[in-house]
């Protein structure tokens, strides 16, 4: 006899998510997240990202249901039929970006990003950033409010707000997108192979301080940031077949 999947329900700290969690636990029971076969995350996209980061090392699949504000990474919320939905769910695997940031004081911080690594000016003066791709200088000086490197999963988030391209999940690309670029004013970014290693070097780093953020982890006063995809880590999203993430990414490119 096939064992029933052990499900853990986790919820954002908002009333709609907490109420949904209690209703689902009453119907399906609850397994501690560290022993579950699947984790059901209830909230918005921000909470979904927190849940993915919390379970990075386990490889447990995450099925999100929308009980928050933005739900691009989430399925529709329904109490009934969850076991059947999980059984027929489409699996989407992605790999995070690994950021290694060095500060002006010489300290190094490492963090993972599922959506993007973004660099932003900390004060009133624009940042000056040199960009290298696979050890080749591509931009000797970008004067800007910032710049980001996005995964396909994150391309519809901050990257899209910065007028970057939407990337299909299977494209094996990363989006390098400037944020309010002043010079070169015509540069709109680049599409890079997912194997690329990108290095950002801050110019005039003390006069023009810059912070680097990998999803929720911020490092201030950076002087050098190296970013590459970490293929040793795989994250698994679960989506209803009729509304999977690849279809959502495609639809977003034709949104009015």
How many domains would you assign to the chain? 2
Indicate whether 220 and 109 sit together in one domain: yes
Indicate whether 122 and 68 sit together in one domain: no
Q: How many whole angstroms from its chain centre is CA 75?
A: 17
Mean pLDDT over each residue of the chain, to the nearest integer: 91
Indicate whether 57 and 101 sit together in one domain: no
Closest CA to 159 of 174, 171, 169, 144: 174
Contacts of 124 (CB under 8 A, 6+ apart): none
Told to judge if 45 belongs to the known catalytic residues of this protein, a careful annotator would answer: yes
Q: Residue 167 corresponds to which tokens in the numbers above?
A: 């990337």
Closest CA to 89 of 236, 221, 226, 222: 236
SS (H, E, C) 188-211: CCEEEECCCEEEEEEECCCCCCEE
Indicate whether 184 and 217 sit together in one domain: yes
Indicate whether 112 and 215 sit together in one domain: yes
Indicate whether 37 and 87 sit together in one domain: yes
**Which CATH number do you get for residue 143?**
2.60.200.30
Give tens-digit pLDDT for 166-218.
888 778 999 999 999 999 988 999 999 999 999 999 999 999 999 999 998 99
Distance CA 68, CA 44 (A): 4
Give tens-digit pLDDT for 89-140.
988 888 999 999 999 999 999 999 999 999 999 999 999 999 999 999 999 9
Give percent above pLDDT 70 in the chain: 95
CB atoms within 10 A of CB 16: 16
Indicate whether 224 and 182 sit together in one domain: yes
User: Residue 2 above 60 pLDDT?
Assistant: no
Query: Mean per-residue pLDDT for 71-100?
Result: 91
pLDDT at 137: 97
Indicate whether 132 and 170 sit together in one domain: yes
Distance CA 230, CA 115 (A): 13
Distance CA 160, CA 49 (A): 17
Give percent above pLDDT 90 in the chain: 72
Domain coverage including residue 225: 97-229
Indicate whether 223 and 240 sit together in one domain: no
pLDDT at 199: 98
**Which CATH number do you get for residue 43?**
3.40.50.10330
Candidates 34, 37, 45, 205; catalytic one: 45
Indicate whether 74 and 60 sit together in one domain: yes
């Amino acid at each position: 006899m096939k064992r029933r999947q052990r499900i853990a329900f986790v919820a954002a700290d908002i009333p709609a998510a907490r109420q949904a969690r209690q209703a689902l636990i009453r119907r399906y029971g609850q397994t501690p997240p560290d022993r579950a076969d699947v984790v059901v995350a209830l909230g918005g996209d921000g909470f979904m990202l927190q849940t993915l980061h919390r379970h990075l090392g386990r490889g447990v699949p995450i099925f999100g249901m929308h009980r928050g504000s933005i739900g691009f990474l989430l399925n529709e919320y329904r109490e009934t039929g969850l076991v059947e939905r999980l059984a027929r769910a489409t699996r989407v695997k992605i790999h995070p970006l690994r950021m290694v940031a060095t500060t002006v004081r010489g300290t190094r911080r490492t963090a993972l990003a599922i959506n993007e690594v973004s660099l932003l000016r900390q004060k009133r003066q624009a940042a000056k950033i040199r960009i290298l791709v696979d050890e080749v200088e591509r931009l000797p000086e970008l004067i800007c409010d910032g710049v980001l490197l996005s995964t396909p999963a994150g391309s519809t988030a901050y990257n899209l707000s910065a007028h970057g391209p939407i990337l299909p999940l299977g494209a094996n690309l990363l989006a390098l997108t400037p944020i309010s670029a002043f010079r070169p004013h015509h540069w709109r970014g680049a599409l890079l192979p997912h194997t690329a290693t990108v290095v950002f070097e801050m110019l005039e780093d003390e006069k023009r301080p810059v912070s680097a953020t990998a999803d929720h982890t911020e490092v201030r006063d950076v002087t050098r940031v190296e970013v590459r995809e970490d293929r040793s880590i795989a994250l698994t999203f679960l989506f209803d077949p009729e509304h999977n993430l690849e279809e959502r990414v495609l639809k977003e490119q034709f949104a009015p």
